[in-house]
Amino acid sequence: MGSTSARLLALLGLLQSRPDWSGAELAQRLGVTDRTVRNDVARLRELGYPVDGVRGPGGRYRLGAGARVPPLLLDDAEAVAVAVGLRTATATAGFEESAHSALTKLEQVLPDRLRRRLASIRDASASGPENTDSNVEDPPVDSEALASVADAIRDHHGLRAFYRDEPVELEPYRLVAWQRRWFLVAREPGSGEWAPYRVDWLQLRTPGGRRFTPAPFPGDFTEFVVREVARTGWAVHARITIDAPAEEVLARINPAVGTVEALADGRSVLVTGGDSVEIVAVWIGMLGIDFHVTEPAELVEHLQVLTARYANAVPS
């Protein structure tokens, strides 16, 4: 038979088709030697599939617990990629229920080792609202790093890492997918402060931190990420003075865009951000209210460019 992967799938299919097979029967059906059958059975066991063997002439084989599930051969990276894709899909309108159902079904057809890894990602993560976009290319996230963080959350094991080149030690609590980025809600054990950390900005160190006893989190993980990222989690941050009271601004924005602070003179300040000045300009331009920007300098410069561009677009 052709490739090893194709032969393993065929072997799994045979083992599922009836309770008991001799090594000679499997070799004949697959068109291989008895030794190849023994090697392939060993590979299935390494992948976590329960294949029971009975000693004797030619040997006999049967699937153990989970023998009636259909075969599905995925390595760690492939399994994590599928789980991440399905978790992200739960944040897309119309796919929430079906994506969650598909993730549950996927777990049932994987060996125990991969099933535990997918379960840790599912149980340790949530999705925020998928309602805005950016002109910046989505950052790649290391699937192994994401899975390692999920495992640490499951096992209550601390993390040692570099975050934007600064060393940190964290107690990990929850992964939240938002705006096609992954954020880790973690607690700094020394100060007890909570913060969201972008996973693509984390460089995990080995060995990790010490085990910890979880502390109660003060609120909802997803709401916390959405609120805090507007202040600290973007590449570009801005405080924008709005010529309108806070109540009016809040009525015009989605909470995912940023936070609003009331001023004594009846105006308000919008604290927002994004991965580029272009997307921040789009968000504040959609308010439909006069505003004033003094920083950051690159946002001011971009708004000046837009001012000239829009003026040139109108016939004089």
> Which CATH number is 234-313's, of 1.10.10, 2.60.120, 2.20.28, 3.30.70?
3.30.70
- Burial class from Cβ neighbours inside 10 Å (0-12, 13-18, 19+) for residue 200 reads middle
Q: Where exactly are the structural domains of the chain?
A: 4-63, 76-220, 234-313
How far apart CA 75 and CA 47 sit, in angstroms, is 8
Q: What is the mean pLDDT of residues 228-249?
A: 84
pLDDT digits (tens, 9 = 90+) for 136-148: 566 777 778 888 9
Q: Locate 303 and state its tokens.
A: 């708004």
Mean pLDDT of 42-48: 84
Pairing of strands 166-178, 125-127: parallel
CATH 3.40.1170.60 fits 4-63, yes or no: no
Beta bridge partners of 274: 236
Segment 194-217 mean pLDDT: 93
Q: In the predicted model, what is the mean pLDDT of residues 253-259?
A: 71
Tokens at residue 151, please?
């495992």
Confidence tier at 193 by pLDDT (50, 70, 90): very high
Question: Which residues make beta-bridge pairs with 227?
Answer: none
The yes-or-no verdict on residue 93 having pLDDT over 50 is no
Give the DSSP H or E segment for 51.
strand 51-54
Q: What is the pLDDT of residue 191?
A: 94
